[in-house]
Protein backbone atom coordinates (compact mmCIF):
# COMPACT_ATOMS: atom_id res chain seq x y z
CA UNK A 1 0.00 0.00 0.00
CA UNK A 2 1.47 3.31 -1.09
CA UNK A 3 0.76 6.50 0.84
CA UNK A 4 0.62 9.90 -0.86
CA UNK A 5 3.68 12.12 -0.58
CA UNK A 6 3.59 14.23 2.55
CA UNK A 7 4.09 17.97 2.21
CA UNK A 8 6.24 20.07 4.50
CA UNK A 9 4.94 20.13 8.06
CA UNK A 10 5.10 23.93 8.26
CA UNK A 11 2.58 24.04 5.40
CA UNK A 12 0.32 21.70 7.33
CA UNK A 13 0.55 24.15 10.24
CA UNK A 14 -0.60 26.96 7.92
CA UNK A 15 2.62 28.98 7.68
CA UNK A 16 5.24 29.83 5.09
CA UNK A 17 8.82 28.60 5.14
CA UNK A 18 10.04 32.13 5.93
CA UNK A 19 7.81 32.34 8.99
CA UNK A 20 8.94 28.86 10.09
CA UNK A 21 12.62 29.80 9.67
CA UNK A 22 12.13 33.04 11.65
CA UNK A 23 10.47 31.16 14.51
CA UNK A 24 13.33 28.64 14.58
CA UNK A 25 15.94 31.43 14.58
CA UNK A 26 14.17 33.30 17.40
CA UNK A 27 13.98 30.15 19.50
CA UNK A 28 17.65 29.37 18.87
CA UNK A 29 18.73 32.88 19.86
CA UNK A 30 16.61 32.65 22.99
CA UNK A 31 18.37 29.57 24.35
CA UNK A 32 21.94 30.76 23.74
CA UNK A 33 24.13 31.60 26.71
CA UNK A 34 26.44 34.59 26.98
CA UNK A 35 28.66 35.64 25.17
CA UNK A 36 27.09 33.82 22.20
CA UNK A 37 23.70 35.43 22.77
CA UNK A 38 25.14 38.96 22.54
CA UNK A 39 27.01 38.10 19.33
CA UNK A 40 23.88 36.61 17.78
CA UNK A 41 21.82 39.68 18.67
CA UNK A 42 24.44 41.97 17.06
CA UNK A 43 24.15 40.03 13.79
CA UNK A 44 20.46 40.90 13.62
CA UNK A 45 21.15 44.49 12.57
CA UNK A 46 20.32 45.15 8.93
CA UNK A 47 22.25 47.76 6.97
CA UNK A 48 21.04 49.15 3.68
CA UNK A 49 21.59 52.17 1.45
CA UNK A 50 18.96 54.18 -0.34
CA UNK A 51 18.99 57.15 -2.65
CA UNK A 52 16.22 59.41 -3.94
CA UNK A 53 15.69 59.70 -7.69
CA UNK A 54 14.42 62.85 -9.40
CA UNK A 55 14.26 63.65 -13.11
CA UNK A 56 16.07 60.40 -13.94
CA UNK A 57 19.11 61.21 -11.78
CA UNK A 58 20.20 59.65 -8.52
CA UNK A 59 20.53 61.91 -5.50
CA UNK A 60 22.85 61.55 -2.53
CA UNK A 61 22.68 58.12 -0.97
CA UNK A 62 22.51 57.48 2.73
CA UNK A 63 23.15 54.44 4.88
CA UNK A 64 20.42 53.19 7.17
CA UNK A 65 20.50 50.71 10.00
CA UNK A 66 17.53 48.77 11.28
CA UNK A 67 17.50 46.53 14.33
CA UNK A 68 15.28 43.49 14.19
CA UNK A 69 13.67 42.81 17.56
CA UNK A 70 13.56 39.13 18.43
CA UNK A 71 10.21 38.00 19.75
State the fold for domain 9-66: Atp Synthase Epsilon Chain; Chain: I; (1.10.1620)
Q: Could you tell me the pTM of the whole model?
A: 0.50
Confidence of residue 11 (pLDDT cuts 50, 70, 90): confident
Q: Where are the alpha helices (DSSP H) in the chain?
A: 9-12, 17-31, 36-42
Q: Where are the domains of the chain?
A: 9-66
For the stretch 47-68, pLDDT in tens is 778 888 889 888 888 776 666 5
**Pairwise CA distance, residues 48 & 69, whole Å:** 17
Amino acid sequence: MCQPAAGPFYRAAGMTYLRYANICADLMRGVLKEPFKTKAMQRQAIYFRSAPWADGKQGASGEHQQYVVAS
